[in-house]
A and B are shown apart, each in its own frame.
Chain A
Amino acid sequence: MNKKLHALLLISVFVVATCGLIYELIAGTLASYLLGDSVTQFSTIIGVYLFSMGIGSWVSKYFEKNIISWFIQLEILVGLVGGTSSTILFLVFENIASFRIILYSLVGITGILVGLEIPLLMRILKDRYEFKDLVSKVFTFDYIGALLASLVFPLLLIPYLGLVKTSYMVGILNVGVALIVCISFKKEIKAAVYLQTSAIISILALLVGFVYAGVITNFSESLTYADTIIYSKSTPYQRIILTKKGKVLRLFLNGNLQFSSDDEYRYHEALVHPGLQALPNARNVLVMGGGDGLAVREILKYPNIRSITLVDLDKGMTGLFKSNHMLLNLNKGSLLSPKVKVINADAFTWLRQDKKKFDFMVIDFPDPSNYSVGKLYTNSFYTLAKAVLAPGGIMVIQATSPYVAPKSFWTVDTTLRSVGLHTIPYHNYVPSFGEWGYIMATENPVYKKPTVFLPGMRFVTKESLDLMFYFPKDMAKVKTEVNKLNNQVLVKYFEDEWSSVL
């Protein structure tokens, strides 16, 4: 055997070692990105990985003949599994809750395969070196490879390629080793052509993955969620993310918290009952926004309500809250009630067409953090809303925090008044959000505080209502402009007020 081949095999050791460590780093990084808590994730991943390598080493003794051929096949397999691992993990992460099982299985498989590599290589090389030289050379290259991997991974690969592309690239390197070994030893192995072809096909497949890696996902968002993400989906309108920690579910739209299951009752009770309890004869209700069905759940508690029309832009949102069992538990299947009609439409456009009248209206849009949503808080929108409010009816608007964003809150009030509505602002404390504000609006000053509420309320009572209607000095009314389509002052106030907090 010539010197060239010696060098080649040792380079293989080096590459194999580098790739092996990178797979481990990829799995650890991915797990801490997606699941949070990097100490736990890295520890468990490294543990599982090393243990799996041990299994691989132990299994290696059962490979008796055609070691080179086995080694080549092994390399191809490592390249394929390792190369596609991050893609697989990203894809399954979007869809299933048992993500950890897949994660650790993949880490285990990769570990076993990588664990097989070095023992097999040593056996290929065993007749070509003295034992002491062999051990010295193989482990030297192994550890140098490890050093290289641990340096290029954080400094070059992640910043420039990202996780997914890095996986594919390392996979290609692995299969590349297989291909080179295959070509160099073609006289010593059977079925060299078959192995060579599989190696080339695998490299091509990985190359395709490398090129299209950008499409797979932008995982950086995962960094911002502290809890386990159990569901994430991009609809044409927004990114929906559902997280879970212990028993607490949280829903985020475009990164903004919409509710937390442990205290959402405070928000939805406050949103619905002060208004609806005052309308014992209410029949038809309109809910705009609120595709989570939680406000609808509260409304359905009133037997006098005959129909609820829910207008939410996003089918992805209402669909999720009609089907996921955890969420159905939370909203009591409200969106499936025969009284509820779900319309997936743009609220502004929908409202511009002629409508029947509603006795009670819940306007529960996301906060006015951009110009698109800001339009739903304008005088033009409230003019349309007023037109569908039945005589004596009440509408209630979620109006951001009067404590953090008093100008924003009172802008909603000013804007409602500018179209000739009478307003009743109020607020309560929702731990996840802080001090939160709502505004009821009526055509005539007819609102009377209810004194009795439905049984089973956890927050709203006659006494708490008195507190809710009282605005202490630090949330007192401020003078603001009217929010219009052609000035969008609310978005500017909102941006200013919240940017100083967040």
Chain B
Amino acid sequence: MSGRPFYKSSELVNGLSRRSFMLKAGLIMTGIFLGGCIRKLNPKSAYKNIKGNIKGPNAKAGHILRDKLPLPTPTSTSSVKTLIIGSGISGLSAARWLKKQGYHDFELLELEDHVGGNSHSGKNNVSAYPLGAHYITIANNEDTLLTGFLQDCGVITGFENGLPVYNEYYLCFDPEERLLINGQWQEGIVPDFGLNAGDKAQIKKFFTLIDELKKSKGNDGKYAFDIPIDNSSADDQYRALDKITFKEYLHQQKLSSVYLLWYLNYCCKDDYGQGIDKVSAWAGIHYFASRRGKAANAESNAVLTWPEGNGWLTRKLATEVSAHTRKGNMCYSINYNQQGKVVAGIYDVAKSTTSIIVAENVIMATPQFVNQRLFKDTINRPVDYTRLNYSPWFIANITVNRLPQGKGAGLCWDNVAYDTPSVGYVNAGQQTVKLTDEKRVLTWYLPLCNHEPRIARLAAYTRTYEQWMDIMMPELEYMHPGIADAIEKVECWVWGHGMIYPAVNYIWGENRKAAQLPIKNNLFFAHTDLSGISIFEEAFHQGIRAANQVLAIYGKQQNI
């Protein structure tokens, strides 16, 4: 069979999905709009006293790219050896690595007025709080690049018997997590309270399976599941798991307990923003089987967290390279000039002016859907951009002056209710040593995974503050009856493209491999969407990988 019929059917599928997309999108938008109108007619909402606002990444700048709005002609031109575009963790990590290797001729560009990408954080008069990624687990001990960084920034304070000693102010304070299930808060999130023996046995079976997979190595001697992902074994026995959904895999394993399935679905939503029916089995297992970190003073898989979440790590990465960082500047196009150098069009968001940067080479620490727009038709990559799917997220930072307590375990760092749409909330003040008064900030995470991402994204941009409250409050009231009266403020944040999710066949498919390939040995790529899972560790390694590609040009690559 030639390729032609394939293309045709693909066009057909695209055409169909485009039409159904318009239809679905239309229906949902109308629903939200009508809902908003009805709400206005009946302003007696139970939550009308709750004050706050909705924010998100710079939408104006984003739309310049998406809608190809006309920009003023560039007024100046500058040049730099290496340009890093995007200061999320990947970009920051690339910049840090260049600097660490004694390479200083680079510039880091960021369109927002802050660095950190989805590890962004905020602060009010009660506490700092995360606006996205908010924890890491202790590092795998073989991952010396990461442990090196953690040592640099004081997270690892030393070694005892060969094991790292973690700073105890950053290890998640006890009590760590609780679950509201069968009318009571139980300790831990794995369902237990009120489960019958059959369900408990299935949960045990799953974790036995995971313990096995954690230790498993492929025929190439590499761990079956590792961090960074590209260190994992190529053994097809494991990679085949990427071709089915996690749900199918669990079905094959005859794991059918509703409690277990809920838990695994929750975990996938928590880490990937999508449920077990969307993410690949390989990725679903990776969540559990890839973390083998051991510490001298903490349990395996212990969590490291800060009031501002990974905003803390962002700050540590950013301070080292702050002199090289230009915020509020958006790259709007990437081209080659006649000498083969990379020409970046830059838009100054505050001044509304444009300029040109000519670079020997560029690290694109930007998501691929952005790269597609920057490259327009001038730079072609063998990448099917439509296969890269990003989960939208809604995050609310809720300031409460008290927390009505239910039966069972008290407030923990992570607080989840069984069988609710959100993945619960974290207590931003968990890492404080103060005897806190009752004022707290709770960070509530809602992955928008009920519809396909583009529709959910569009719907998320359309919703009003009141409509978000209508979604969030019933769940919070279910967790803590009477909490509405205790809320002082709710600050909302919408991530349209919160994170890549590992759809079936993405992690070990051709597309991801192709997207990682540099162009002309001077255009490099670093982003978690090239890993397929959006975690700090992946971004950290993506940055180092791309930085090493740059260093290799100048013969500086370190053998690490």
Q: Residues of A at under 8 Å CB distance from B? A: 236-237, 313, 346, 348-349, 352, 370-373, 375, 378-381, 484-488, 491
Contact = CB atoms under 8 A, between A and B. Distances in A.
A226 B171 CA distance: 43
B169 A380 contact: yes
Contact of B302 (A371, A378, A486): A486
Contacts of A349: 433-434
Given A379-B168, A485-B171, A236 B297 contact: no
Nearest to B173: A485
A375 B173 contact: yes
A348 B436 CA distance: 11
A486 B437 contact: no
B168 A484 contact: yes
Nearest to A491: B174
The 3 closest A-B pairs by CB, nearest first: A488-B174, A348-B433, A486-B171
B175 interface: yes
A365 to B, nearest CB: 10
B79 to A, nearest CB: 47
Given A485-B168, A485-B171, A488-B173, A313 B435 contact: yes
A249 B191 CA distance: 48
Given A371-B174, A371-B175, A371-B410, A485 B434 contact: no
9 contacts: A236-B437, A372-B436, A375-B433, A378-B168, A485-B171, A485-B174, A486-B174, A486-B298, A487-B174
Nearest to A235: B437
Interface string B154-176: 00000000000000110111111
A375 B435 CA distance: 9
Contacts of A485: 168-169, 171, 173-174, 433
Contacts of A378: 168
Contacts, number: 54
Contacts of B433: 346, 348-349, 352, 375, 380-381, 485
Given A346-B435, A349-B434, A485-B433, 15 more contacts: A346-B433, A348-B433, A370-B410, A372-B435, A372-B436, A375-B435, A379-B168, A380-B433, A381-B433, A484-B168, A484-B171, A486-B172, A486-B173, A486-B174, A488-B175
Contacts of B172: 486
Contacts of B297: 484
A379 B169 CA distance: 11
A495 to B, nearest CB: 11
B261 to A, nearest CB: 30
Nearest to B437: A236
A237 B439 CA distance: 11
A485 B437 CA distance: 19
User: For B433, B436, B437, B438, which residue has the most chain A Cβ atoms within 10 angstroms?
Assistant: B433
Nearest to A374: B174
B400 to A, nearest CB: 15
Nearest to A371: B175
Contact of B168 (A352, A373, A486): A486
Nearest to A381: B433
Contacts of B436: 372
A346 B434 contact: yes
Interface string B397-436: 0000000000000100000000000000000000001111
Contacts of B298: 486
Contacts of B169: 380, 485
A491 B437 CA distance: 19
Contacts of A381: 433
B161 to A, nearest CB: 15
A377 to B, nearest CB: 12
B173 A237 contact: no
Given A380-B168, A488-B173, A237 B437 contact: yes
Contacts of B434: 346, 348-349
Interface in B438-465: 438
Contacts of A237: 435, 437
Interface string B164-203: 0000110111111000000000000000000000000000
A168 B161 CA distance: 70
A487 B172 CA distance: 9
Nearest to A313: B435
A491 B409 CA distance: 13
A30 B175 CA distance: 39
Nearest to A348: B433
A325 to B, nearest CB: 29
Contacts of A352: 433
A486 B302 CA distance: 9
B126 to A, nearest CB: 13
A237 B168 CA distance: 25
A486 to B, nearest CB: 4
Select the residue from A378, A380, A486 with max chain B CB neighbours within 10 A: A486
A371 B302 CA distance: 18
Nearest to B434: A346
Interface in B328-360: none
A373 B433 CA distance: 9
A486 B171 CA distance: 6
Contacts of A486: 168, 171-174, 176, 298, 302
A372 B434 CA distance: 7
Residue with the greatest number of chain A CB neighbours at <10 A, chosen from B168, B174, B176, B434: B174
A379 B297 CA distance: 11
Contacts of B410: 370-371
Q: Which of A346, A381, A485 has the most CB of B within 10 A?
A: A485
A464 B168 CA distance: 40
Nearest to A375: B433
Interface string B26-44: 0000000000000000000
A410 to B, nearest CB: 19
Q: Which of B176, B435, B438 counts the most A-chain CB atoms under 10 A from its CB?
A: B435
Contacts of B438: 236
B147 to A, nearest CB: 18
A313 B437 CA distance: 11
A237 B438 CA distance: 9
Nearest to A482: B297
A349 B434 CA distance: 6
Contacts of A379: 168
Nearest to A492: B174
A380 B166 CA distance: 12
Contacts of A375: 173, 433, 435
A359 to B, nearest CB: 25
Nearest to B176: A486
A352 to B, nearest CB: 7
A380 B171 CA distance: 12
Contacts of A373: 435
A379 B166 CA distance: 13
Nearest to B167: A380
Contacts of B171: 484-486
A236 to B, nearest CB: 5
Contacts of A491: 174
A485 B304 CA distance: 12
A487 B433 CA distance: 14
Nearest to B187: A492
Nearest to A347: B435
Contacts of B174: 371, 484-488, 491
A147 to B, nearest CB: 37
A488 B171 CA distance: 12
A379 B157 CA distance: 15
B482 to A, nearest CB: 12
A440 B172 CA distance: 29
A55 to B, nearest CB: 46
A313 B434 CA distance: 10
A379 B173 CA distance: 13
Contacts of B176: 486
B484 to A, nearest CB: 16
A193 to B, nearest CB: 37
A346 B410 CA distance: 22
B135 to A, nearest CB: 13
Nearest to A314: B435
Interface in B283-297: 297
